[in-house]
Amino acid sequence: MGIINLSPDSFSGDGLAVPEAAVEQARRFVKDGADILDVGGESTRPGFAPVSVEEEIDRVVPVIKKLATEISVPISIDTSKSEVAREALKAGAAVLNDVWGLKRDPKLGELAAEHNVPIILMSNQRDKGGYDSKIKRDTSYYQDVMGEVTASLQQSLETALQIGVPRENIILDPGIGFGKTWQQDMEIIRRLGELRALGRPILVGASRKSFIGKVLDVDAGDRKEGDAAVVAISITMGADIVRVHDVQEMVRVCRMSDAIIRS
């Protein structure tokens, strides 16, 4: 999954303010081997400034419309707002990506059911005092971060099923960097296989995240080798989709890892 970031305040500095630049990047990603493009118009970095529904629609819809007429791979809309998702689906998006796992806006699940499209549900600990949250963190809450992530994803999965989303249309994301410490992010990667018990495909979005910077002591734009290691290990531990900034290099890592692990 290649990241098409239309938010100017992205943590990794890859935000594209000009639609033409986003379309050109998307073309390059597809040429480099991306299987899915994930288009987002609002940053989810810690302390991000929220944007209005109207502004988010204005950022993403023109790009999705253009891409939908040019490329053959599915387009995912990365949003936590059902109003934005609805317009994105009209424009040609084919996957919903909800970083709140239906806990903020269950109508996203209704849209997934209505349009019979896949939905990615993420475990987000920011609303429970996670370390990058504005809420004072209760350290005792994280005695078992993988247990919390699994329970959170189980809740989102059950919500989606109750709404009417077919089980086969649900993808789960443990939420690397969302309310966890950098040590817990690494623990989640190490224990990723435990999520197989939920019976759904697993997406890992760890590209350029701060835990890589902590380990390697490098800035967000200089984490490619760290990303490659995380992608390879995630695949070894059971990841089915990886969400990345550097598509060409990570496609090669995926193909090599698959050849060894899943041949």
Provide the annotated active-site residues.
209, 243
Using only C-alpha atoms, the chain has a radius of gyration, in whole angstroms, of: 17
Instruction: Write the DSSP string, 209-239.
Output: -HHHHHHHT--GGG-HHHHHHHHHHHHHHT-
Dist. CA 89–CA 96, nearest whole Å:
9
Dist. CA 109–CA 242, nearest whole Å:
22
Neighbours of 49 (CB within 10 A): 10
Which residue in 224, 255, 251, 257 sits closest to 238, CA to CA? 257
Number of DSSP helices (H) and strands (E) in the chain, helices first:
9, 8
Give the HSE-up count for residue 238: Cα atoms under 13 Å, Cβ half-sphere: 18
Which residue in 52, 42, 159, 35 sits closest to 94, CA to CA? 35
